[in-house]
Amino acid sequence: MAPQVQIIGVAGMRDVRPGDDLAALILEAVRGQGADIEDGDVLVVTQKIVSKAEDRLVDLRQVEPSTRAQEMAARMGKDARLLEVILRESRRIVRQEGGVIICETKHGFVCANAGVDTSNVGGGVVSLLPENPDESAERIRAAIQQEKAGASVAVIISDTFGRPWREGHTNVAIGVAGMRPVKDYVGETDPHGYVLRVSTMAVADELAAAAELVMEKLSRVPVAIVRGFDYQRAEGSARELIRPRERDLFR
Amino acid sequence: MAPQVQIIGVAGMRDVRPGDDLAALILEAVRGQGADIEDGDVLVVTQKIVSKAEDRLVDLRQVEPSTRAQEMAARMGKDARLLEVILRESRRIVRQEGGVIICETKHGFVCANAGVDTSNVGGGVVSLLPENPDESAERIRAAIQQEKAGASVAVIISDTFGRPWREGHTNVAIGVAGMRPVKDYVGETDPHGYVLRVSTMAVADELAAAAELVMEKLSRVPVAIVRGFDYQRAEGSARELIRPRERDLFR
C-alpha cells in the first residue's frame, strides 16, 4: 500500500506560563479535541511554549547593555538591551549586515538574533531558546510515555529559522528525543544499482517543516502530531543536525 | 476544529521514459491505489521523473570535457565529463572544497553539482534539472485540471538539496504552479499585539519536505499528494524562493 502520513494540529491550549507541565497541557488539549497520542507518533512542539514553560524569558527593562551591545545597537539602529541579550545567547556572530544579525548560539545553531524573540510574549519581554532543547524534548517524551504506558513516541522541539540562498523561513528541529533525527542511505543502491548520491536526509527538520503546515502562527496551534512516519527509534539529539564547523563551507 | 493535513504517497508508477505524459501516469497511479486527486490538493513531484519525461538526460560517453573541466576533475579526483556537464548547468561556482562543488544553476538555485545527478538513471547517464521547472509544474497542473474538470490543484517539483550549517538534506521546491510558494505575515500581529518578527514562511519548501516523509528513496514513491493545506491560489513560481544575490549574505 502507498505510505501515508497525517499531520494533526493541536489547538485549544491555554497560554503557557512559567512552571507549567507541558506534557499534561498537551495531552489535555489532544484529548479535548477527541483524539489521543498513539504509539509511533511524533510530537512537534514549538520552541515558544517550551521557553515559556521553562521561564526562558527576559524583561528588557532589567537588562544592562554592555559597551559592545551599545555600539552595535547604535550602528544597527536597534535596542541595546535586546542586543545585549542576543550577545549573551551567542557563541559567535556569523554575519552582520544592515539590521540582520546571524549568530551561532551556545548550542551551535546558526540563526538570526540567536533565537531571541519578541513576538508572542508581550510587555517588553523577550524569549530565549531553551537552555537544552534535547532535554526539553526528552522531558515531554518521558512524561507522555509514562502517562500512555506502552506507547513509544518521539518529540521534536521546532523553531522557525531563515536560511541562505532561499527566501522565506522554514521550521527546523532544535531539540529531538526518541528518534534518530537523520536517515542514512549510505551504501544503499537505487533500483539501477547505483549508489545513491544523497545519503543523509534530515528527517527531523522535515517533520518540523511538515508540522508547520498546520501551525498557523496566529491561530494558537503550538503543537502538531505527525502520525504514520516510520522513524528509527533512538535516544536522539538535535546536535546530529548541526554541521561541524570544519565541514561547513559557510561558517 | 484542529487543522489537519494528509500526505499520501503515490506508489506503483512504472519507470518514466522520455516523452511520457507525466500527468496521465500520475493520475493512473493515484487511481490504481483506489484514490483520486481532489480540489485543493497539492501534488509534489520529484524532479527526477520530470527530468526523465522531459529527456533531460546526458550520456557521459558523448561529452567532450573542456580544459577547465579537465583541470577541475584532476584537482578534485572526479570524472571530467561529469564536471563538464555540471559547469554547463552552472551560472557560477559558489564554493568548491574537497570533493564538494556548490553551484548556482542557470535558474538561480544554489546546490551541489548544479543538480546533475547520477542516481536512479542508469548506464553512465546523468540527469539534469528541468530547463524550466515552473513550466514543468504548470504543464502537469494544467493537464490534471483538464482531466479533473472543476478541481483546482497546485503542483510542486521537488529536489533534494543540502544546506549550510545543518547536516542532512531536505526536499525543497524547484518548480511551483497554482499556488503562492510563500506565506506572508507582514503587518500581522500576534495575540499580544506584537508585530511578528518572522514574516514570510516558505510553504512550498515545507510542502516539499513534508512530501519527502512518504517518498522513500528506494521504494518508488516519486509523487505525493498533500491534502488539507490551505494555500493561496496564484500562478506561482519557485523564483520567489530564490533570494536575490544582493540580499544574500552567503553568496
Q: How many residues does chain A have?
A: 251
Same domain, A96 and A40: no
Percentage with pLDDT > 90 across chain A: 78
Would you state the pLDDT for residue A251?
73
Percentage with pLDDT > 70 across chain B: 92
Would you state the pLDDT for residue B195?
55
> In which residue are the cell numbers 507518533 written?
A41
Same domain, B77 and B164: no
Nearby residues of A8 by Cβ (< 8 Å), 6 or more positions away: A35, A214, A224, A225, A226, A227, B2, B4
Would you state the pLDDT for residue A107?
97
Taking only the tens place, the pLDDT of each residue in B143-188 is 999 998 878 999 999 999 999 999 999 999 999 999 999 998 766 6
DSSP output for B26-50? HHHHHHHTT----TT-EEEEEHHHH
Same domain, A226 and A159: yes
Side-chain half-sphere of A175: how many Cα atoms within 13 Å?
Answer: 25
CA-based end-to-end distance of chain A: 43
Q: In this structure, what DSSP letter does residue B193 have? A: S
Q: Which of A107, A127, A147 is the last residue of a domain?
A: A127
Note whether B160 contacts A: Cβ–Cβ < 8 A.
yes
> In which residue are the cell numbers 519536505 written?
B209
CA atoms of B9 and A243, how far apart (whole Å): 30
Chain B from 32 to 71: CB within 8 A of any A CB: 33, 35
The CA–CA distances, whole Å, from B42 to B153, B168, B249 equal 6, 25, 32
The three grid cell numbers given for residue B137, joined into one nine-digit string: 509544474
Q: In terms of C-beta density within 10 A (0-12 exposed, 13-18 middle, 19 or more buried), how is residue A19 classed?
A: exposed
Q: Which of B126, B154, B169 is the last residue of a domain?
A: B126
A41 vs B1: which has the higher pLDDT: A41
The three grid cell numbers given for residue B168, joined into one nine-digit string: 542532512
CA atoms of A7 and A227, how far apart (whole Å): 6
Note whether A122 contacts B: Cβ–Cβ < 8 A.
yes
Note whether B114 contacts A: Cβ–Cβ < 8 A.
no
Q: Do A201 and B117 touch (CB under 8 A)?
A: no
Angle, helix A22-32 to helix A133-147, in steps of 10 degrees: 50
Same domain, A169 and A239: yes
Residue pair B202/B152 in contact by the 8 Å Cβ criterion: no
Residue pair A58/B26 in contact by the 8 Å Cβ criterion: no
Angle, helix B80-89 to helix B67-76, in steps of 10 degrees: 120
Side-chain half-sphere of A48: how many Cα atoms within 13 Å?
Answer: 21
Q: For residue A218, is it within any domain?
A: yes
Q: Give the CATH number for residue B30.
A: 3.30.1330.100
Q: What is the mean pLDDT of each run of 10 residues along chain B (251 residues)?
A: 91 93 96 95 96 96 96 92 97 88 96 87 87 98 90 96 94 98 76 61 97 81 96 96 86 73
Note whether B188 contacts A: Cβ–Cβ < 8 A.
yes
Range of the domain at A116: 58-127
Closest by CA to A30, choosing from A209, A227, A218, is A227
Q: Give the CATH number for residue B66.
A: 3.90.1660.10
Mean pLDDT of chain A: 91
Q: For residue A115, is it within any domain?
A: yes
Instruction: Name the phi and psi angles at B30, rounded to 5.
Output: -60, -45
Coil/strand/helix, residue B215: coil
Residue A121 pLDDT > 70: no
Would you state the pLDDT for residue A186?
65
Taking only the tens place, the pLDDT of each residue in A189-221 is 655 555 555 579 999 999 999 999 999 665 689
Instruction: List the single residue in A202, A206, A221 with the smallest CB-CB distance to B3.
Output: A221
Chain A from 206 to 245: CB within 8 A of any B CB: 206-207, 209-210, 212-214, 216-221, 226, 229, 240-243
Taking only the tens place, the pLDDT of each residue in A49-70 is 999 999 999 999 999 999 999 9
Same domain, B221 and B173: yes
Coil/strand/helix, residue B132: coil
Same domain, B144 and B230: yes
The answer to whether the Cα torsion of B92, B94, B100, B106 is positive or negative is negative
pTM score, whole prediction: 0.94
Would you state the pLDDT for residue B191?
58
Q: For residue B191, is it within any domain?
A: no
Percentage with pLDDT > 70 across chain A: 92
To the nearest whole angstrom, how far is the Cα of B119 from the nearest Cα of chain A?
5
Instruction: List the single residue in B164, B182, B202 with the smallest CB-CB distance to A248.
Output: B164
Residue A92 pLDDT > 60: yes
Q: For residue B64, is it within any domain?
A: yes
Q: For residue B43, is it within any domain?
A: yes
Residue pair A140/A154 in contact by the 8 Å Cβ criterion: no
Same domain, B31 and B148: yes
CA atoms of A229 and A212, how far apart (whole Å): 16
| R_g over Cα of chain B | 19
Same domain, B147 and B161: yes
Q: For residue B186, is it within any domain?
A: no
Side-chain half-sphere of A229: how many Cα atoms within 13 Å?
Answer: 36
Same domain, B141 and B226: yes
The three grid cell numbers given for residue B51, joined into one nine-digit string: 527530468
Tally of domains in chain B:
2
Q: For residue A136, is it within any domain?
A: yes
Same domain, B152 and B116: no
Same domain, A149 and A120: no
Same domain, B79 and B110: yes
Q: In this structure, what DSSP letter does residue A60 have? A: G
Would you state the pLDDT for residue A64?
97
The CA–CA distances, whole Å, from B176 to A62, A94, A144 equal 47, 32, 39
CA atoms of B208 and B47, how far apart (whole Å): 11
CA atoms of A51 and B136, how far apart (whole Å): 43
How many C-beta neighbours within 10 Å does residue A143 have? 17
Q: For residue A195, is it within any domain?
A: no
Element (H, E) at A223: strand A223-227
Mean pLDDT of chain B: 91
The three grid cell numbers given for residue B213, joined into one nine-digit string: 516523509
Q: Which of A101, A127, A153 is the last residue of a domain?
A: A127
